A and B are shown apart, each in its own frame.
Chain A
Amino acid sequence: GAVVSQHPSWVICKSGTSVKIECRSLDFQATTMFWYRQFPKQSLMLMATSNEGSKATYEQGVEKDKFLINHASLTLSTLTVTSAHPEDSSFYICSANSGGGLAAYNEQFFGPGTRLTVL
């Protein structure tokens, strides 16, 4: 199957700093990427939908200015956590849809996740 990578896999930062997480589709072009947040022993919570070349669509309750998403190319989306605080510590997962977005079914492939710890 298609491969989605995330970098870094684990990051520790100081409170007040910004952290960028990259999500790449390695062997396919992804017009749509998704960013999720997962707390321990909980389900995935969708944060935003990212479409190549356009602004991300954020879910209700997600701060747009806090979680900046950029989808600059068909293989790369980035999530920047700005002015991170300890409550932003979490596991962040990205996923990418194969196909052109118009077909009835595009499988969603998941990255391995990034563990963010804010001290």
Chain B
Amino acid sequence: AQTVTQSQPEMSVQEAETVTLSCTYDTSESDYYLFWYKQPPSRQMILVIRQEAYKQQNATENRFSVNFQKAAKSFSLKISDSQLGDAAMYFCAYRSAIWGGSEKLVFGKGTKLTVNP
């Protein structure tokens, strides 16, 4: 079974600074997707960024980028120029990409990010 581990229960960052959230995962599958989701106080889950395992290039979405290290099974999220609106719970998630495989998302326990003005 696949597992996702987020070792930082809480992180804080100063507004306009950069912060990196860690995520490691374990799987025996060769093809999969990795995600970072944001859950603000409203509790609406919002997709931040997605990485396909077969792609070597790290995904980037504006101020959000990932450092995907497939061999190390590591998938960290970097938030640049942090804004107050970035304050939220961040969940790392895994999903199989095997044809006909499970479409379930496996979530980590989350990291609470606080942005200080």
Contact = CB atoms under 8 A, between A and B. Distances in A.
Interface of A: 32, 34, 38, 41-44, 46, 49, 91, 93, 95, 97, 101, 104-108, 110, 112-113
Contact of A43 (B46, B97, B103, B107): B107
Nearest to A38: B43
A34 B107 contact: no
A46 B104 contact: yes
Q: Is the interface of B mostly helix, strand, loop or mixed?
A: loop
Interface in B27-83: 33, 42-47, 50, 52
Contacts of B112: 41
Given A44-B91, A49-B104, A112-B42, A107 B47 contact: yes
Given A43-B109, A110-B45, 4 more contacts: A42-B109, A49-B104, A105-B52, A105-B97
Contacts of B50: 107
Contacts of A105: 33, 52, 97
Contacts of A95: 45, 105
B105 A108 contact: yes
A28 B58 CA distance: 29
Nearest to B44: A112
A44 B106 CA distance: 9
Contact of A91 (B43, B99, B110): B43
Nearest to B9: A41
A43 B43 contact: no
Query: 5 shortest A-B CB distances, which residue pairs?
Result: A110-B45, A43-B107, A43-B109, A112-B44, A113-B43
Given A113-B43, A113-B44, A104 B91 contact: no
Contacts of A32: 103
17 contacts: A34-B104, A42-B110, A43-B107, A43-B110, A44-B45, A44-B91, A97-B103, A101-B103, A104-B97, A104-B99, A105-B33, A108-B95, A108-B103, A108-B105, A112-B43, A113-B43, A113-B44
